[in-house]
Structures are given as C-alpha cells and as structure tokens.
C-alpha cells in the first residue's frame, strides 16, 4: 500500500466515510496487523476504541463466588516495578492498575485514565513531545485513600530513580512528568516520540500509592511492606500471600467500575507444571483458568475432549529463544559472574555461534512439540508484521556446522569434543523445567553432539528461574551459564520497549540488581544508535526500518537465536468469560471476567 493510499484511508476514518473495522481489514490485507493499524489511526488523530473486547453482562458486582486461577510458575513478589517474570507481572496486576492497558486487538483501553489521549481530545501535542492524561475521578485505593495525580507523579519518581533498581526504569528515566491538577498529568518526552504509550501503560505502567511507598524510594525500595502486601486500586483486595505457593484476594467493594468485579473471592495457586495445570482445568474442572500452557499440542487436544474446558490461543509478539553468553559465567569479578568485564573462552568466536545456530532443528521443534503454540522463526520480532525482518532466515545443517568449525580450527579430541588452544566446546545449557523445553534441549543436544559440541543440560524449577530474587543464582537474568533458553513477552503491540533489551544501558548486572532487560550482556554501538533514532522517528516506515535493524544486528551476530514465535495459550472452564490479550498480561482486564 502506497503512502498516499494509506493517508486517504486514514482520512476516510476521520471523516466517518470508512469505519475503523473496515480500515483495519484493508490494512491487514497488505500486511499491517491490527495493532499497528490502530497505532496509525491514533497517531493521525483518530481516537482509539474506548471499550474492552468482551461484553460484560452481570448487572451487579459480586455474587460470582470464588475464581480460581493456576499459575504453575508461582509468583514470588507483588511489586509490578520489580516483576521481571511474567508470573509476577500477572499477580501484581490483580491489585495494581495502569492508566491504560492493551486489548487483544491492540487498542489502548483506559483503566485509571478517564480517556485515551489523542490529538482529537488535546491529549497528544502536535510536536509529538507531550502527552496529557486526564485521570479518572472517584477512584480509591484499597485503604480508602483517593487516587490522584500525586500517585502518578510519584510512580515516575520511584521508577526512574537508579537506586530503586526498578525493572521498568527504561520507561521512565528519560521523561519528565508534571502535575497539572489533581486529576491531570503531563508526560514530557525529550524528543518527538511516536510510541508514547509506554510510561503508565500496560506491564510497565502500574501506578503505586505514594502514601505507601514514599518512604521506600531509592535504596530502601526492597524494604517496603507493600512489596508483598499490596494496596492498589484493582478489582480485588489483598488477603494473603505465601510466595511460591498461594495468593488470595477478595472483592473490592468500592471498585471504580460499576457492577464489577463479578467474583467474590480470588485464589491464585502456584506450583506444579504446565501439564497438571491444563489437566486441572480441562479435565477435572478444579480450577477456572490456567495460564501459559507450554504443553505439547497433541496432549492439549486429548485433554480438551474431557469436556470441562477449552483452549484459548491468541497471537502475540512473544518469542522462545536462546542466548549464547559472550561473557564468562564461570569467573567472578566484583561480586558477579557473567560480568561485561569478562569474555567467554569460546562463545566470543562468531564462528562457534554461527555453527550452533545451524544445529537447531526449528521445524521439528514446531511440528513435534509446540503445534498451535508456536511458529518457527529466525527473527526476534514477529508481530506486528511491519516490524518483522524479511532478511533473517533459518537453516538446519549439521554438515555446514561441521564445515564452519573445521575451517575455524576446532579439532575433535579423543572424546569427540572439539577444542582449540586447549578450550573445549563444552557448555551448560539452561532453561526452566517444562516438558517441551526439555524435549527441545534434547533435540539440540543431539545435533550438537554430531558436530563435536557437548551440552550439559540444566533445568531449573520455573518459579525459581523466573524469580526476581536477587539472592538466587539460578534466575534467568543472572545468566550464570553458557547457554540459556526461555520465552520473553512483548508487552505491547509495538516492539520499541521489547527491543530495549538489545541496548547497552539495559545490561543486567549487580548494580541494577540484575533487573536490566538486556540479559545477554551483548551490545553493539550500531544497535544503540538505531534504537535511539527509532525513538524519535515520526515516519512509520523509517521507524520500522530502524527497529528491524536493531533486531537484525543481534540475530545476525548469533548471540540471540530465535526459535519460535509463540502463541499465548491458556485454558478456561466452559462457563468462564475472560479477556485474553496477546499484548498485555492475562489479568489485564480481570475486573470484567464473569461466569456465564
């Protein structure tokens, strides 16, 4: 679609000659996914849809009895700004809310905001540098105190402070936030910013109560009682929490949305595995909802015949991938391993990384393990399609891998393992405990053996692996191994924040309590430069090209080895109506869930 044709269609929506739905269909026909089409409309002054994607039918709040959710990766904390794992982000969102969240169509839906900022309502400035949020009035914190602009400004101050070491700091450190009045705030960006819906939005945007956290900003941030006993504005009030086990809540009777929530009590049970979680919903009906069912598709299909529940699979930008660690995970420097002050003995060699990439049979992993759960890919970014690299391709070839290693001077020893200058190609390959991941490990290990590379497989309990526990050496952000595999979630229908994990200033280390988003530790000045340019590029096509470049730099360096573009798979009992979005956490619109 040419630029002038696109602008003509946008003008049609603005004048009412073309419906939003028709525009999105026409855009999809030429490869522009719904989320990006919605972003184009918003940027050009068309207000976003203001209603979430399910029709809420209950005529009063409460009366729904208990809601029972299974997160087989158990939550360990309830402060959203420390939640590096999706399980902790999901649990935090039960109690805390952002100004707006993302529905499954990529629409920005107001939550604590009165409306979505747009050029039409004066919320977006013409120069792209300021966003004015009008806040919903009459909202109360769970302790009865009023929610105001002071809480929004405080959340910015809290998250941007380097001493707080927030996982979300990248969304706040370069902006300014001003209180206009008690129910209006202004976000000021240093440059024209095309994707402004990051601070105070979605996963990174949950608002903290100033009166509970003001004494714990900065270095004392980990001491706040509310990290484990939250006081939020969400539909359910905190009752009890046993980290790594169970979380309970009760209906907040003064919730700010009429007739919501439907359920009287909430239980979030952690632990177990994805298979047992699926069984507890689909076959026994013991639980109402189970998240992240990373289970072989054939197993899920058999369980669905049990008649108690159904699978929900929604598109997302999530990616299952492998990191090849170019720092040394076995040498400690200044109190941390995998320090950027060190170099890996062999994985710093690009030829070794190139060979390992050729030893991944992505097609078999998709066909025989994931099925509906993922599509093989060589690109870290896959959705929306406008941001996916058309240049990156994958191939499985043991012969080519052997040839590369032969030419690079790595000789097989008596044990069959290649080495060069006394350094063996022998690695520890880590992931979380989960049947599809262990089967993926086995497939890759077998191929590597045929190329003279030995992999020691390590599996860590998921609740530990994805924990935000600074003291635990086995969390994924520590990267205290040679090779690591997991899924990272794309938290919004735009890959800018997703790709900040490829920037040098986001490298995870001891100083930021390993909450920096760049777990790989790898950096490239060209990627930094392209990312910064994309942040202020207002032309959609040019901006997409810059973000694609960031993606390609890391994938072509074979530090990041994408495996599968993941579909978000969950299970629910038949009579549960829930709002499953691929662009936000599962609990993003929990207030609107009900039993039919």
C-alpha pair distances (Å), 295 with each of 114, 371, 374: 40, 9, 11
Between CA 316 and CA 161, with CA 131 as vertex, the angle to 5 degrees is 80
Residue 35 has a pLDDT of 55
Pairing of strands 411-412, 374-376: unpaired
Name the residue among 123, 122, 128 with its Cα closest to residue 192.
128
Residue 54 has a pLDDT of 83
Rounded to whole angstroms, the Cα distance separating 415 from 412 reads: 8
Residues of the chain with pLDDT under 50: none
**Burial per residue of 183-202, b for 16 or more beta-carbon CB atoms within 10 angstroms, e otherwise:** bbbbbebeeebbbbbbbbbb
Q: Helices (DSSP H) in 78-139: which residue ranges?
A: 86-93
Residue 308 has a pLDDT of 92
Rounded to whole angstroms, the Cα distance separating 527 from 550 reads: 5
Residue 415 has a pLDDT of 96
Rounded to whole angstroms, the Cα distance separating 123 from 196 reads: 11
Task: Tell me the pTM.
Answer: 0.82
Residue 36 has a pLDDT of 60
Q: What is the 3-state secondary structure (H, E, C) of 231-274?
A: CCCCCEEEEEEECCCEEEEEECCCCCCCCCCCCCEEEEEECCCH
Which numeric CATH code is attached to 319-495+561-566? Answer: 3.10.105.10
Domain boundaries of the chain, sorted by first residue = 3-43, 61-95+234-315+567-596, 104-224, 319-495+561-566
- Strands across the sheet with 454-460, in order? 374-376, 560-566, 319-324, 483-488, 426-432, 454-460
Residue 30 has a pLDDT of 57
Residue 42 has a pLDDT of 63
Rounded to whole angstroms, the Cα distance separating 474 from 216 reads: 27
Rounded to whole angstroms, the Cα distance separating 547 from 552 reads: 9
Rounded to whole angstroms, the Cα distance separating 500 from 381 reads: 12
Question: In this structure, are residues 193 and 129 in contact, taking their beta carbons and an 8 Å threshold?
Answer: yes
Rounded to whole angstroms, the Cα distance separating 305 from 291 reads: 19
Residue 24 has a pLDDT of 66
Given CATH 3.90.1570.10, say whether it is the number of domain 104-224. Answer: no
Tokens of 308: 């108690």
Residue 249 has a pLDDT of 98
Q: Which CATH architecture has domain 61-95+234-315+567-596?
A: 3-Layer(aba) Sandwich (3.40)
Residue 12 has a pLDDT of 73
Residue 105 has a pLDDT of 84
Q: Can you say how many angstroms the Cα of residue 329 is from the centroid of all Cα atoms in its chain?
A: 25
Rounded to whole angstroms, the Cα distance separating 529 from 537 reads: 12
């Amino acid at each position: 679609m040419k630029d002038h044709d696109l602008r003509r269609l946008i003008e049609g929506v603005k004048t009412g000659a073309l419906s939003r739905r028709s525009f999105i269909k026409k855009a999809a026909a030429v490869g522009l996914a719904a989320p990006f089409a919605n972003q184009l409309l918003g940027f050009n002054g068309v207000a976003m849809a203001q209603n979430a994607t399910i029709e809420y039918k209950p005529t009063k709040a409460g009366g729904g009895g208990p809601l029972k959710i299974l997160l087989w990766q158990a939550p360990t904390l309830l402060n959203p700004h420390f939640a590096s794992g999706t399980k902790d982000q999901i649990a935090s969102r039960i109690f805390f809310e952002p100004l707006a969240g993302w529905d499954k169509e990529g629409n920005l839906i107001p939550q604590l905001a009165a409306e979505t900022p747009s050029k039409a309502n004066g919320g977006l400035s013409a120069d792209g540098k300021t966003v004015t949020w009008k806040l919903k009035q009459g909202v109360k914190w769970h302790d009865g105190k009023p929610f105001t602009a002071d809480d929004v400004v405080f959340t910015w101050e809290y998250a941007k402070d380097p001493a707080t070491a927030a996982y979300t700091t990248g969304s706040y450190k370069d902006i300014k936030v001003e209180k206009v009045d008690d129910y209006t705030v202004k976000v000021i960006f240093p440059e024209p910013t095309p994707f402004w819906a990051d601070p105070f939005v979605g996963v990174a945007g949950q608002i903290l109560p100033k009166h509970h956290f003001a004494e714990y900003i900065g270095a004392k941030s980990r001491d706040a009682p509310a990290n484990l006993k939250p006081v939020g504005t969400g539909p359910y009030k905190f009752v009890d929490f046993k980290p790594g086990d169970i979380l309970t809540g009760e209906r907040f009777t003064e919730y700010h949305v009429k007739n919501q929530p439907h359920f009287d009590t909430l239980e979030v049970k952690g632990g177990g595995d994805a298979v047992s979680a699926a069984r507890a919903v689909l076959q026994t009906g013991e639980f109402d909802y189970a998240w992240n069912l990373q289970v072989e598709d054939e197993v899920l299909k058999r369980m669905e015949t049990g008649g108690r529940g159904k699978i929900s699979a929604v598109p997302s930008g999530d990616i299952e991938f492998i990191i090849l660690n170019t720092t040394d995970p076995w040498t400690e420097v200044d109190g941390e391993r995998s320090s950027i002050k060190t170099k890996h003995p062999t994985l710093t060699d690009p030829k070794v990384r190139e060979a390992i990439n050729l030893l991944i049979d992505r097609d078999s992993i998709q066909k025989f393990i994931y099925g509906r759960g993922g599509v093989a890919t060589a690109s870290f970014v896959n959705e929306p399609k406008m941001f996916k690299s058309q240049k990156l391709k994958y191939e499985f070839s043991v012969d080519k891998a052997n040839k590369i290693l032969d030419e690079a001077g790595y000789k097989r020893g008596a044990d069959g393992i290649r080495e060069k200058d006394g350094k063996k190609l022998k690695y520890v390959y880590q992931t979380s405990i989960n049947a599809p991941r262990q089967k993926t490990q086995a497939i890759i290990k077998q191929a590597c053996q045929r190329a003279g590379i030995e992999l020691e497989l390590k599996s860590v309990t998921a609740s530990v692996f994805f924990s935000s526990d600074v003291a635990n050496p086995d969390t994924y952000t520590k990267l205290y191994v040679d090779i690591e595999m997991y899924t990272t979630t794309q938290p919004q229908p735009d890959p800018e924040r997703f790709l900040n994990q490829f920037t040098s200033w986001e490298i995870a280390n001891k100083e930021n309590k390993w909450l920096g988003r760049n777990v790989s530790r790898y950096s490239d000045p060209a990627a930094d430069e392209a990312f910064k340019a994309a942040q202020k590029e207002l032309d959609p096509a040019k901006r997409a090209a810059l973000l694609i470049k960031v993606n390609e730099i890391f994938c072509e360096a074979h530090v990041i080895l994408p495996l599968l573009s993941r579909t978000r798979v969950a299970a629910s009992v038949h009579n549960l109506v829930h709002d499953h979005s691929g662009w936000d956490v599962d609990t993003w619109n929990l207030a609107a869930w009900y039993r039919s």
